[in-house]
Amino acid sequence: MSPEGLDTRPTTDRVKESIFNIIMPHLPADSVLDLFSGSGALGIEALSRGSNHCTFVESSRDAQKVTAENIDLARVKDRAEIVFGDALAFLDKAGIKFDLIFLDPPYNTGLLTKSLTKIYENNLLSDNGIIVAESEYMGEEPASDFFNIKRYAKYGKTMVFILQKKTLQGE
């Protein structure tokens, strides 16, 4: 299920399948963060592929309700935590590292760059972890001094970026 209206833009099945084909070597992950989770589709898929725990962060009550229903339908409630609230505020107080972070903020709002900065500043990505960031084609890109783009792909109007921490050598 997906929330109704234009405020939530669910990841299409085609894009989701492509993402999981790309990130398969990183699964299952111990700790997953689905930031701006919408319907929760990406985090639920990670759980269904054996990941241990996923935190879903969403600021829309309607989307949060749909996420909870989808988690129940997928029978992964025992490994899921839903956090209602502002994504950037969550990043400031999370205090744990994630092995896999799904980052799909509203397009062209500056939230992609702000989220990446907060993830870095708060040291929320494990050393071998990855970030899967979505943005609009020709829109905001994940320009960052802290993460390397390891791979990217275009799916219609959607761009998907796979990011990892930069090493000391900048690789």
Q: Is residue 18 part of a domain?
A: no
144 assigned to some structural domain: yes
pLDDT, tens digit (0-9, with 9 covering 90-100), for 73-123: 999 999 999 999 999 999 999 999 999 999 999 988 999 999 999 999 999
Is there a domain that residue 19 lies in? no
Asked, for residue 34, whether it belongs to a domain, the answer is no
**Residues spanned by the domain of 119:** 102-154
Residue 124 in domain: yes
Can you list the residues of the chain whose pLDDT is less than 50? 2-9, 170-171
Residue 13 belongs to a domain? no
Residue 167 is classified by DSSP as -
Q: How many domains does the chain have?
A: 1
| pLDDT the model gives residue 11 | 67
Q: Is 169 among the domain residues? A: no
